[in-house]
Amino acid sequence: MSIQKVAFITGANRGIGLETARQLGKIQGIHVIIGSRDLAKGQAAAEALRAEGADVEAVRFDITRPEDYREIFEFLDKKFGKLDILINNAGIAKEDFFKSTVSTVSPAVLRETFETNFFGAVELTQTLLPLIKKAPEGRIVNLSSILGSLTLHADPKSPIAGSKAFAYNASKAALNAFTIHLAHELRRTKIKVNSAHPGWVKTEMGTEAAPMEIPDGARTSVALATLPADGPTGAYIHLGETLPW
């Protein structure tokens, strides 16, 4: 069994996922596997990170293809015999965050959004959990968003009150529920499960209007992936601060 920590990050060939891979592989010395729908793009990203000194490799992985879950399980099991860190980073947004309305969102957009942002993350985690249980101290990080906070959405004075992209927001609220339930199930183990809000970051999804740079957007994921034994579990975190569910 591999002694070095091993991390698998979905949707990690660009944006926050790529930066998370950089920080874990280069600064933390963790062996990182980048999951990318387009293997060529993933390999190019991994090669660039290796040139910077990060310990990274890429595999083809599509969160919308359930058959890929078993393939990544077999890859990790055969090569490492465990998985220390799973970061459910892959996510999509099909709506306009400020113009979309719940009365007009299509069933197709709802289903597509939930398939990637929620159902895929749940099924992949279930598939890989036996490998995470073989790690000395497993860490599961679910990339959520402050837009998944029902408490803040219900407050007309909150900073997110005007952003009612229902499919995206509901998928992240569901992912938060998964975090709470899985953390409860694993509460007597050394595995920690947390939801991360990266912030509004300058990515393809966040656009250039976002106030945060990508390196800062990865900080919460990296911190939750490397929590000490006395760190939180079943929490909703942004840069060390707890968010309301």
126-184 pLDDT, tens per residue? 999 999 999 999 999 999 999 999 999 999 999 999 999 999 999 999 999 999 999 99
236 is catalytic: no
- What pLDDT, on a 0 to 100 scale, did the predictor assign at position 3? 80
Q: Which of 8, 119, 168, 200 is catalytic?
A: 168
CA-nearest of 94, 205, 84, 66 to 143 is: 205
Please give the average pLDDT of every successive group of 10 residues along the chain, which has 245 residues. Answer: 87 94 94 97 96 96 96 98 98 92 97 98 98 98 97 96 96 98 98 93 62 83 98 97 97
DSSP state letters, 1-43: ---S-EEEETT-SSHHHHHHHHIIIIIS--EEEEEESSHHHHH
Enter the pTM of the model: 0.95
**What domains appear along the chain, each with residue ranges and CATH number?**
6-91+117-146+168-239 (3.40.50.720)
- What pLDDT, on a 0 to 100 scale, did the predictor assign at position 215? 84
